Structure 1
Amino acid sequence: MTTITVTRACCVSAAALLVAAPSTAPQESAAERPPVSGALAPPERREPAAVVTEAGYRYDDLLWENDRTAHRIYSKRLEQAEPPSGSGIDSWGKNVRWPFADRQLRTGDQHGYHGEGLDFYNVGTTRGAGGLGIWYDNKLWTSRNAVRHRILASGGRVADFTVDYAPWPVDVDRKVWETRRFTLPLGTHFTRLVSTISSDREAPLLVGIGIGKRTTGQGAGELTVDRAKGLLSWWGPQDGDHGRMAIALRVAPDMIAEVRSEADNHLVLLRVTAGRPFVYFSASAWTGGEGGFRRRADWDAYVAGERLDFRPPSS
């Protein structure tokens, strides 16, 4: 895997991602969390920060988080070490404002609760929290794991990086490949994603962006769809003493072709032009974590109420 890292780079401001400051959902009840199983190594600083970390010690997993939410995607090295893996987006619960995911992953027990958060969201080969594919012939055609990334900013108010996905087939009809930019500022549950999907053919694409159906607990969870707002909001099932995960997608409503489900994912299908960037947002929260989301109604209200900027970059 090829990695290019640029620290403290000038990047997109938080104001360019969210038109208005994020609201805070009311806390209806105290957070319920699993028993603590051993403490993490102490953080360097107990201050909020938005960070991106390449976990070279763990097959080059790529981690990013802010003071509200934490995520992971998988790199090429993992494909042979732990098959099957895929290009879906993993989401972690966190209950501290400072970075924890790297220290959590270094324990080798990221699925356990060590006092600051945990990973109990099983993305598998689903789209997880906002992965995508090409919808063609009633099937979602997806890439393998990321082949390279470039960290643009980490450790300050914004986590910002790009990822490349190598060409993958869409049936025998065409090949596509993707570059995607991920930007997560402090103070929000939403990561802004700018995807540019190129192709060996000029025909329009139908891109399916998904939320994995059975990633926690028993059952498929509860889905709220508001097409006028370009919203899919998922409230996951209770997963023992781990609690629930909540996931949301926001897309530009005028790009929507269809909202549908398939075996593994809830999908929103967008009409996309090959080679032209488009913007969507992915959000996640943990009922035991930051944000105070203990009820489905609070989560739905938060993700529907955010004023998001879907304008693609000019260059």
Structure 2
Amino acid sequence: MRIGGRAGAAVAWCLLAGAPAAAQEPPLPLPVVSPLPPPPDRTPRAVALLADYRYDDLLWENDRTAHRIYGHALEAAEPPSGSGIDSWGKNVRWSFADRQLRTGDQHAYHGEGIDFYNVGTTRGAGGLGIWHDNKLWTSRNFVRHRILASGGDRADFTVDYAPWPVDTVRKVWETRRFTLPLGTHFTRMVSTLSSDRAEPLLVGIGIGKHTTGQGAGELTVDRARGLLSWWGPDDPGHGRIAIAIRVDPRMIAEVRADADNQLVLLRVTPGTPFVYYSGSAWSHGEGDFRTRAQWDDYARGAALDFTIPKAGQ
């Protein structure tokens, strides 16, 4: 099966279980503050790029969803800043995030999408940390990146996170690969965590609790599917952001929360890569997700591959 007929083998790891139900009325359109400059073309593409004009934000998007993570330069410019993952709503199939960010007003709606998800110091849409002594110890912003593919049927890149302390007992550092093909709401992540000690790590992958609207949103946990699915509260004038984390169920140690995040804890061996997925959608955007049940069904039904990809996959 091909997703959307466009992505071919690049999306073999993310076949959909079925389209979400379309029984709900579409939401009322949002007022456009000012239109974005027109795109060079309207061909759906999966894109990854470094926004060196904006403190080295790294943007990636496809025809369904858009994201960013924050570069080292932002730590001084906008403290606190951290390694959580930002999720943007989009309601067009072509690329918009770079044009949106260049306006300097990315938090407003300019007709193609919007950034109203407030990561702060949370894990956002699938950032991670090390769980130790009843606390999540997290890295700062990424320090290096390498874009492997952009502008075609997949966005693919790696980032490095500099060593960070886990209390006083050890240091940890990470290389993570992000791959987002056309036709899916899920980004595949391959994380390799290294440490100055050989003992296993307890890794917490999180969804920020208070990133949109009022309240903590609604969480669905399906441990058998390795799923945490979050339906965000309605943010007046913006809508809802939905987030899902999928992990290999065999790696799960515990599902829990801290003050800022819903968390799934995984047992990980330093130096051994592991795969997980982060998905997101917007209630005004691509995918027509209007209810929590629609998002949960999609996130639970996606057939995802947790094997470590070979070079070039």
TM bucket (normalised to shorter chain) is over 0.9
Query: Is 1:90 matched with 2:104?
Result: no
Range moving further from structure 2, 32-41 or 266-275: 32-41
1:274 aligns with 270
8 Å contact kept, 1:24–1:292? no
Q: Per the alignment, do residues 314 and 114 of structure 1 end up closer, same or farther by CA in structure 2, a change over 3 Å counting?
A: closer
8 Å contact kept, 1:31–1:289? no
2:41 aligns with 45
Query: Is 1:25 matched with 2:20?
Result: yes
Deviation at 1:66, TM superposition (A): 0.2
Deviation at 1:16, TM superposition (A): 4.5
Distance 2:204 2:146 in 1: 25
Distance 1:145 1:63 in 2: 14
2:289 aligns with 293
1:104 aligns with 100
Deviation at 1:291, TM superposition (A): 0.2
SS at match of 2:303: coil
Uncovered stretches (5+) of structure 1, i.e. residues with no partner: 1-11
8 Å contact kept, 1:206–1:271? yes
SS at match of 2:32: coil
SS at match of 2:304: coil
Identical aligned pairs, as a percentage? Answer: 74
Aligned counterpart in structure 1 of residue 300 of structure 2, from 297, 301, 304: 304
Q: Per the alignment, do residues 152 and 13 of structure 1 end up closer, same or farther by CA in structure 2, a change over 3 Å counting?
A: farther
8 Å contact kept, 2:194–2:270? yes
2:160 aligns with 164
Distance 1:50 1:314 in 2: 20
1:248 aligns with 244
Query: Is 1:68 matched with 2:64?
Result: yes
Aligned residues: 303
Cα deviations across residues 32-52 of structure 1 (Å, max 9, x unaligned)? 342100010110111110000
TM-score, with length taken from structure 1:
0.94
Deviation at 1:29, TM superposition (A): 1.6
Distance 1:226 1:173 in 2: 33
1:226 aligns with 222
Query: Is 1:57 matched with 2:53?
Result: yes
Cα deviations across residues 52-77 of structure 1 (Å, max 9, x unaligned)? 01111100100000000000000000
Q: Per the alignment, do residues 166 and 51 of structure 1 end up closer, same or farther by CA in structure 2, a change over 3 Å counting?
A: same
Uncovered stretches (5+) of structure 2, i.e. residues with no partner: 1-7
1:9 aligns with none
